């Protein structure tokens, strides 16, 4: 492919509390693509997502990450967000007393500023928020409530997707946004993701289930196992994993001489 | 790494914005306190004999307390002994304007820099301002317009001249000079302040406000505010305060008395941003204030809202005495302590009448080495049947060198009373900060937003014009200059 990758991870090794969690990840994501990352609990999926978003508790031991050709690891988290990286959190955080709308308006406007666009005033923002809330079928009451405060598990996930559709990121990383959703919510989340799809944008879906992939067809599926990407393939890989679990991959790895 | 702690530290590095000094010729009394000084203050103000007598009685009472070593020490604050003989008790600009147009341009500029225009048609068109500069009021706007409704809004000194009967009737009726050490001192030496009277059935159409500015050095500010809402009247009043940055500690010992008669409502809001001292704790204002309201009438209501971000030490307990049946007292407070600031603040709700209700919402925020104490008393007297109180005290800690303390005292002599008390302590988590930053907010904005969210129930009680200012101030002052 001659086009430049949007995200390029080279041999990334990450430690937390002295323990190595990511043990050499290499991955390239091109504009327009949807990648899915699957893997057993504790394999390092969220760690990878959080490192890409700039969480500072993780120690980078080795490797580099380029975002749109620039060194991502040098940028503070807000800079990454302003340049279009969005992380839908596996566990969205509650911020008591801060209205969801107020929070998102501040986010939209810092990002617009970065893009050289004029800030949205209260009316313009409200119109945008209402439109997107409708798209992801988010109860309008949740807009007025404090960020994630007392939201149900499913409401929190839906709120993440709502934020994503409002912020229109170039690289969206969704960490198990499909977990704990009922069937309708799953469809809606998929709708939000599909609405974001665009030749200039890319999406990384971290998931345990291939059911989301029924709605959002990934270009590539990766298996993250014990801090390494041990297998990559097409959509069928997800089906195979769902059927057989991860055991066979473990055997494959142990069976094959890896360096 | 951007933890909540070091973001606060960065915020702390910001400068106090109001620390400048105005160069204006002032008449200042020599340092020291004695009967002669009190007579001179009284003479300067051309006061009637009864008022001088009252001052002198207060002074003698205070002097006795000093002799007995009875300066209060029970608050959870520490400071070296104050030398009351080293303080100047009067400082006033020499040029005294007769009307708004004659206000000294230097002083006018000072208030402009503070964001308080002394022109009536300006930005804060819905707000009448009494500007107190050191010991005297230098301007009061919208007096004419208010007078048409029978509302009296003027400096305390003018009230003494023009409405002596009202002043004499109510002065000291809520806070007698024997109330406490600093109230006694204030009663002896108070120099100015604001006076408000809203007549029967009148709803004051604009916010009334007083802006207190300390300018002269080695000077204390001792103002006195008296607000009377007659039957069925409504008034919303706001005070703001700033002072220059100095290495010395300056004393501000004010007294505020509120009186609400039948069906009257007084809403009193404070945004206190006195100079808090520097990062090492040098300098700053000692803010030792007595504020109290009497709900004398049936169905009357007094509501205190305070945002306390400045001062080296804050010692104040805006309180309500609920005498009239069905009367209501409210206290909404945000107190921020950063660096080496100390605050011991809270309220007293004394329930005397039947069906009296009170609400206390206190939000304490501590950062740096700041120490924040909530001290509150709810007292239900025998006969205050079905009295109710709800108290909520929340503390937010930013960092691990600061402290939050809560001392709720409850005294109930009435079996039909109902009280509820809730208290929480929390921190800004690294997860919250990261979540905000992942959405593009700077760490500073994130902290400011989270802090404002924490204080929301209090901030929404502020008049609109000031809510925005207060929110910004919180953003800044987490430094001793959140803004
Ligand atoms: N801050 C931390 N401190 C200590 N250990 C951590 C920390 N963050 C992650 N780990 C450890 O790193 C490993 C990978 O965790 P991670 O959350 O990335 O897994 P995951 O693949 O997302 O799992 P799941 O499917 O359960 O969400 C786990 O063993 C976890 O306990
Ligand atoms: Mg995970």
Q: Is residue B154 part of a domain?
A: yes
Q: What pLDDT is stored for residue A3 in this prediction? A: 76
Give the range of the structural domain holding residue A13, as residue numbers without chain letter: 7-254
- Cβ atoms within 10 A of the Cβ of A140, count? 11
Long-range contacts of B137-144 (CB under 8 A, 24+ apart): B137/B192, B137/B193, B137/B194, B138/B93, B138/B97, B138/B103, B138/B104, B138/B107, B139/B97, B139/B100, B139/B103, B139/B107, B139/B111, B141/B100, B142/B206
Residue B246 has pLDDT above 80, yes or no: no
Q: Is residue B443 part of a domain?
A: no
Q: Is residue A86 part of a domain?
A: yes
Interface touch B440/A76, C-beta < 8 Å: no
Is residue A59 lining ligand 1, measured as CB closer than 6 Å?
no
- Cβ atoms within 10 A of the Cβ of B480, count? 33
Report the nearest-CA residue for atom 5 of ligand 1: A16
Mean of pLDDT values over B254-278:
90
- Residue partners of B336: CB distance under 8 A and separation at least 6: B308, B309, B343, B365, B366, B367, B370, B372, B474, B477, B478, B482
Chain A partners within 8 Å of B431 (Cβ): 93
* Residue B454: exposure state from Cβ atoms within 10 A (0-12, 13-18, ≥19): buried
What DSSP letter does each residue of B50-115 carry, written as one string?
Answer: HHHHHHHHHHHHHHHHHHTT-----SS---PPP-GGGSB--EEES---SSGGGS-HHHHHHHHHTT
Q: What share of chain B is helix, strand, coil (3-state, %, to 5)?
A: 25, 35, 40
Residue A206 has pLDDT above 70, yes or no: yes
**Span B179-223, pLDDT tens digits:** 999 999 999 999 888 999 999 999 999 888 888 777 777 788 899
Interface touch A95/B442, C-beta < 8 Å: no
**Span B27-73, pLDDT tens digits:** 889 999 999 999 999 999 999 999 999 999 999 999 999 999 888 88
How many angstroms is it from A142 CA to the middle of ligand 1? 30
Chain-centroid distance of CA B111 in Å reads 19
Q: Is residue B475 part of a domain?
A: no
Cα pseudo-dihedral B195, B200, B203, B206, rounded to 10: -20
Q: What pLDDT is stored for residue A259 in this prediction? A: 40
Q: Is residue A1 part of a domain?
A: no
Mean of pLDDT values over A117-123:
93
User: Which residue's structure tokens are 């409530």?
Assistant: A145
| A237 inside 8 A of chain B by CB | no
| A67 inside 8 A of chain B by CB | no
Ligand (nearest to CA of A88) = 2
Residue A257 has pLDDT above 60, yes or no: no
Read off the DSSP letter of residue B483. Answer: -
Q: Would strands A228-233 and A220-225 be described as parallel, antiparallel, or unpaired?
A: antiparallel
Is residue A254 lining ligand 1, measured as CB closer than 6 Å?
no
Closest by CA to A102, choosing from B9, B446, B99, is: B446
Element of type H or E holding B391: strand B388-398
Is residue A141 lining ligand 1, measured as CB closer than 6 Å?
no
Is residue A50 lining ligand 1, measured as CB closer than 6 Å?
no
Which ligand 1 atom is at minimum distance from the Cα of A208? Answer: 25
**Span B16-26, pLDDT tens digits:** 677 777 777 88
Q: Is residue A71 part of a domain?
A: yes
Closest by CA to B212, choosing from B302, B287, B152, is: B287
Cα pseudo-dihedral A65, A68, A69, A71, rounded to 10: -40
How many angstroms is it from A46 CA to the middle of ligand 1? 7
Name the minimum distance, in Å, from the CA of A87 to any CA of chain B. Answer: 7
Chain A partners within 8 Å of B439 (Cβ): 81, 103-104, 106-107, 163, 167
pLDDT confidence band for A133 (50 / 70 / 90) = very high
CATH number where A130 lies = 3.40.50.300
Q: What pLDDT is stored for residue B313 in this prediction? A: 86
Is residue A41 lining ligand 1, measured as CB closer than 6 Å?
yes
Helix B35-44 × helix B181-189 angle, to 10°? 50
- Average the pLDDT over each of A32-41, A118-127, B1-10 and give the range with the smallest value: B1-10
Which ligand 1 atom is at minimum distance from the Cα of A44? Answer: 18
Cα pseudo-dihedral A148, A151, A152, A156, rounded to 10: -30
pLDDT > 90 in chain B, percent: 49
Contact A92, A156 (CB under 8 A): yes
Q: In what order do the strands lie in the sheet with B301-308?
A: B136-140, B127-133, B207-213, B234-242, B265-272, B301-308, B328-337, B357-367, B388-398, B418-427
| Pairwise pLDDT comparison (B226 vs B451), residue with the higher score | B226
Contact B118, B459 (CB under 8 A): no
Name A174's bridge partners: A88, A205
Interface touch B437/A81, C-beta < 8 Å: yes
What DSSP letter does each residue of A3-70 carry, written as one string?
Answer: SPPSEEEEEEEEEETTEEEEEEEEEEE-TT-EEEEE--TTSSHHHHHHHHHT-TTSEEEEEEEEETTE
- Across chain A, which distance is largest between two alpha carbons, in Å? 61
Residue B368 has pLDDT above 50, yes or no: yes
Chain-centroid distance of CA A236 in Å reads 21
Q: What pLDDT is stored for residue A102 in this prediction? A: 92
Distance between CA atoms of B296 and B265, rounded to whole angstroms?
A: 11
Q: What pLDDT is stored for residue A258 in this prediction? A: 46
Q: What pLDDT is stored for residue A222 in this prediction? A: 96
Residue B15 has pLDDT above 80, yes or no: no
Is residue A43 lining ligand 1, measured as CB closer than 6 Å?
yes
The secondary structure of B328-345, three-state, reads EEEEEEEEEECCCCEEEE
User: Which residue's structure tokens are 């504009």?
Assistant: A31
Contact A90, A176 (CB under 8 A): yes
Mean of pLDDT values over B407-425:
95
Number of domains in chain B: 1
Q: Is residue A259 part of a domain?
A: no
Q: What pLDDT is stored for residue B473 in this prediction? A: 64
User: Which residue's structure tokens are 């407070």?
Assistant: B333
Chain B partners within 8 Å of A88 (Cβ): none
| Pairwise pLDDT comparison (B480 vs B11), residue with the higher score | B11
| Mean per-residue pLDDT over chain A, rounded | 92
Q: Is residue B282 part of a domain?
A: yes
Token representation of residue B411? 């005294």
Q: What pLDDT is stored for residue B18 in this prediction? A: 73
Closest by CA to A51, choosing from A83, A4, A87, is: A87
Q: What pLDDT is stored for residue B465 in this prediction? A: 66
How many angstroms is it from A56 CA to the middle of ligand 1? 15
Q: What pLDDT is stored for residue B5 in this prediction? A: 46
pLDDT confidence band for A129 (50 / 70 / 90) = very high
Interface touch B440/A111, C-beta < 8 Å: yes
Complex ipTM, two decimals? 0.96
Give the range of the structural domain holding residue B327, as residue numbers without chain letter: 24-428
How many angstroms is it from A49 CA to the middle of ligand 2? 9
Q: What pLDDT is stored for residue B6 in this prediction? A: 46
Mean of pLDDT values over A120-132:
93
Distance between CA atoms of B138 and B148, rounded to whole angstroms?
A: 22
Distance between CA atoms of B237 and B72, rounded to whole angstroms?
A: 29
Q: What pLDDT is stored for residue B469 in this prediction? A: 67
**Span A59-95, pLDDT tens digits:** 999 999 999 999 999 999 999 999 999 999 999 999 9
Is residue A245 lining ligand 1, measured as CB closer than 6 Å?
no
Token representation of residue A82? 């302003």
Q: Is residue B482 part of a domain?
A: no
Read off the DSSP letter of residue A119. Answer: P
Global confidence as pTM: 0.84
Interface touch B440/A81, C-beta < 8 Å: yes
Residue B29: φ, ψ to 5°: -80, 155
Interface touch B440/A57, C-beta < 8 Å: no
Q: Is residue A235 part of a domain?
A: yes
Residue B247 has pLDDT above 80, yes or no: no
Interface touch B441/A106, C-beta < 8 Å: yes
Number of domains in chain A: 1
| Pairwise pLDDT comparison (B428 vs B243), residue with the higher score | B428
Closest by CA to B381, choosing from B345, B410, B361, is: B410
Q: What pLDDT is stored for residue B13 in this prediction? A: 43
What DSSP letter does each residue of B135-177 carry, written as one string?
Answer: TEEEEE-SHHHHHTTT-EEEEHHHHHHH-HHHHHHHTTSSS-T
Mean of pLDDT values over B128-157:
84
Mean of pLDDT values over B81-102:
83
- Cβ atoms within 10 A of the Cβ of A89, count? 23
Chain B partners within 8 Å of A151 (Cβ): none
pLDDT confidence band for B14 (50 / 70 / 90) = low
Element of type H or E holding A153: helix A153-167
Q: What pLDDT is stored for residue B7 in this prediction? A: 45
Q: Is residue B50 part of a domain?
A: yes
């Amino acid at each position: 492919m001659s086009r430049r990758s949007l995200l390029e991870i080279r041999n990334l090794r990450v430690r937390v509390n002295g323990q190595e969690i990511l043990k050499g990840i290499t991955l390239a994501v091109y504009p327009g693509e949807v990648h899915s990352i699957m893997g057993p609990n504790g394999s390092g999926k969220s760690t990878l997502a959080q490192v890409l978003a700039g969480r500072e508790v993780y120690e980078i031991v080795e490797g580099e990450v380029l975002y749109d050709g620039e060194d991502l690891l040098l940028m503070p988290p807000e800079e990454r967000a302003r340049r279009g990286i969005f992380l839908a959190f596996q566990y969205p955080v509650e911020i008591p007393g801060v209205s969801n709308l107020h929070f998102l308006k501040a986010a939209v406007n810092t990002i617009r500023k970065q893009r050289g666009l004029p800030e949205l005033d209260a009316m313009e923002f409200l119109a945008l928020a209402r439109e997107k809330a409708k798209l992801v079928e988010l109860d309008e009451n949740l807009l007025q409530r404090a960020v994630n405060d007392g939201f149900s598990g499913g409401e929190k996930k839906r709120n993440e997707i709502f934020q994503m559709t409002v912020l229109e990121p170039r690289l969206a990383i969704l960490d198990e946004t499909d977990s704990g959703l009922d069937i309708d919510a799953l469809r809606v989340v998929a709708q939000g993701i599909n609405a974001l799809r665009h030749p200039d944008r890319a999406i990384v879906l971290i998931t345990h289930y291939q059911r989301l992939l029924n709605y959002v067809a990934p270009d590539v599926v990766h298996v993250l196992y014990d801090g390494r990407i041990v297998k990559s393939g097409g959509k069928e890989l997800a089906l195979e994993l769902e059927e057989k679990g991860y055991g066979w991959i473990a055997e494959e790895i142990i069976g094959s001489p890896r360096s | 790494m951007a933890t909540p702690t070091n973001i606060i530290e960065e915020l702390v590095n910001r400068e106090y914005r109001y620390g400048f000094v105005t160069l204006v010729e002032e008449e200042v009394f020599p340092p020291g306190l004695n009967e002669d000084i009190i007579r001179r203050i009284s003479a300067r103000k051309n006061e009637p004999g009864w008022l001088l007598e009252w001052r002198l009685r207060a002074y003698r009472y205070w002097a006795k307390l000093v002799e007995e070593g009875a300066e209060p020490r029970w608050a959870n604050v520490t400071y070296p002994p104050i030398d009351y003989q080293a303080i100047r008790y009067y400082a006033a600009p020499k040029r005294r304007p007769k009307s708004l147009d004659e206000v000294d341009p230097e002083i006018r500029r000072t208030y402009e820099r503070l964001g308080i225009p002394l022109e009536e048609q300006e930005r804060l068109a819905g707000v009448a301002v009494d500007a107190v500069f050191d010991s005297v009021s230098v301007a009061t706007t919208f007096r004419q317009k208010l007078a048409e409704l029978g509302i009296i809004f003027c400096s305390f000194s003018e009230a003494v001249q023009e409405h002596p009967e009202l002043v004499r009737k109510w002065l000291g009726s809520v806070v007698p000079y024997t109330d406490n050490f600093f109230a006694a001192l204030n009663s002896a030496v108070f120099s100015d302040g604001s006076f408000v009277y809203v007549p029967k059935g009148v709803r004051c159409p604009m916010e009334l406000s007083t802006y207190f500015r300390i300018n002269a050095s080695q000077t204390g500010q001792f103002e006195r505010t008296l607000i009377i809402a007659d039957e069925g009247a409504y008034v919303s009043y706001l005070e703001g305060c700033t002072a220059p940055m100095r290495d010395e500690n300056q004393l501000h010992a004010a007294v505020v008395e509120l009186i609400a008669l039948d069906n009257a409502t007084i809403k009193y809001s404070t945004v206190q941003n006195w100079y808090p001292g520097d990062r090492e704790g040098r300098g700053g204002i000692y803010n030792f204030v007595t504020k109290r309201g009497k709900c004398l009438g049936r169905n009357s209501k007094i509501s205190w809202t305070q945002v306390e971000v400045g001062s080296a030490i804050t010692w104040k307990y805006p309180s309500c005495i609920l005498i009239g049946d069905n009367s209501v007292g409210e206290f909404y407070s945000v107190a921020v302590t950063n660096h080496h600031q100390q605050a011991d603040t809270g309220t007293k709700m004394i329930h005397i009448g039947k069906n009296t209700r009170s609400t206390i919402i206190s939000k304490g925020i501590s950062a740096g080495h700041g120490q924040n104490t909530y001290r509150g008393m709810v007292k239900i007297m025998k006969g205050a049947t079905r009295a109710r109180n709800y108290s909520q005290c929340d503390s937010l800690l930013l960092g691990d060198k600061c402290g939050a303390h809560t001392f709720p005292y409850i005294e109930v002599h009435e079996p039909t009373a109902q009280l509820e008390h809730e208290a929480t302590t929390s921190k800004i988590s690294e997860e919250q900060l990261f979540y905000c930053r992942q959405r593009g907010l700077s760490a500073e904005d994130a902290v400011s937003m989270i802090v404002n969210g924490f204080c929301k129930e209090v901030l929404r009680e502020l008049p609109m014009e000031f809510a925005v200012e207060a929110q910004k101030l919180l953003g800044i002052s987490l430094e001793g200059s959140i803004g």
